[in-house]
Structure 1
Amino acid sequence: MKKFLLASLALVSSVCAADIAIIAHPATADVSLEEVSRIFMGRAGSLMPVNLPENNPLRDQFEQEALGRSPAQMKAYWSRLVFTGKGRPPVEVDSVAAKIEFVAANPNSLGYIPASEVTDQVRVIATLAN
């Protein structure tokens, strides 16, 4: 039973850890990963970041890998900025499909999705390989 649980946990971990594609509107200029990090931290205003809801495994993975912070750290970070009036958190959408639609319709937006779900509506500007 213990071996089964460990094998199941390993399978779930590998499924959750997918390659992440950083996406933008097709007309958007190239953006470095450093710039992506600054945009999602509210330190650069050139593009509007688009997030998935809190506790979404892909959002958690993105925050860890691209921003170097845990979900709890990001929540505290944005709470502090909003409270002091120094920033607005990224726009949130409910799903990967909604994010693709939003980014495709808004030339100044930036998001992340599983690399396996990229469509021709958006342009991949970077990939975080896992």
Structure 2
Amino acid sequence: MSYRIRRFLTTAVLPLALVLSSNASAELVVIVSARSPAQGLTSDQVAAIFLGQAGRFPDGQEVLALDQRVGSQERNAFYQQVTGKTPALLKAHWSKMVFTGRGQPPREAADSASVRRMVAENPSMIGYIDRAALDASVRPVLVLR
């Protein structure tokens, strides 16, 4: 292998692979406000909320889903783990829901810190964040591995 190829692999490809693998292993948690009465939820319940198929928590309280921004690793990992949908399938799902008048996609926030802050302020909201962003203002209702 030539020096140029070896140098490219060690200076560009290897660091990128390490970053991607460390981000891919981030643990996500589905959160509600610490003031919310909602308790632990199943993956199916969370999927129904985020796909616009359920507008209430299991106890009957209204729920508003909050997404991370389109294209974020957290969003892609969340939907893959909870619904089995890729970004393209998710886009198709929401296109159909909006076109048929059956729902609107969740609001979006910029990152885990924004999601945490918005969910903490509204007991009706549910979101997902990197576990490292947890604090006492929110409570996990589902841990994704």
Common fold by TM > 0.5: yes
Which residue of the other structure, out of 60, 64, 72, is the alignment partner of 2:76? Answer: 60
Please identify runs of 4+ aligned residues in structure 1 that moved more than 6 A: none
SS across alignment from 2:140: strand
Residue 98 in structure 1 maps to residue 98 in structure 2: no
Shift of 1:29: 2.6
For structure 1, which segment, 4-13 or 91-100, has the greater mean C-alpha deviation from structure 2 after superposition?
A: 4-13
Unaligned stretches of 5+ residues in structure 1: none
Which residue of the other structure, out of 16, 41, 44, is the alignment partner of 1:34? Answer: 44
Shift of 1:15: 2.1
SS across alignment from 2:41: coil
Deviations 1:3-52 (A, max 9, x none): 42553243122222110011111222322221001111111111211001
Give the percent of matched residue pairs that are identical in Structure 1 and Structure 2.
33
Residue identity in the other structure for 2:88: A
Alignment of 1:59-98 (within 5 A): 59-98=75-114
Aligned alpha-carbon RMSD (Å): 1.4
Shift of 1:98: 1.5
Shift of 1:76: 1.2
SS across alignment from 1:64: helix
Distance in 2 of aligned mates of 1:6 and 1:100:
33
Q: TM-score, normalised by structure 2?
A: 0.82
Q: TM-score, normalised by structure 1?
A: 0.91
Shift of 1:67: 1.4
Residue 43 in structure 1 maps to residue 53 in structure 2: yes
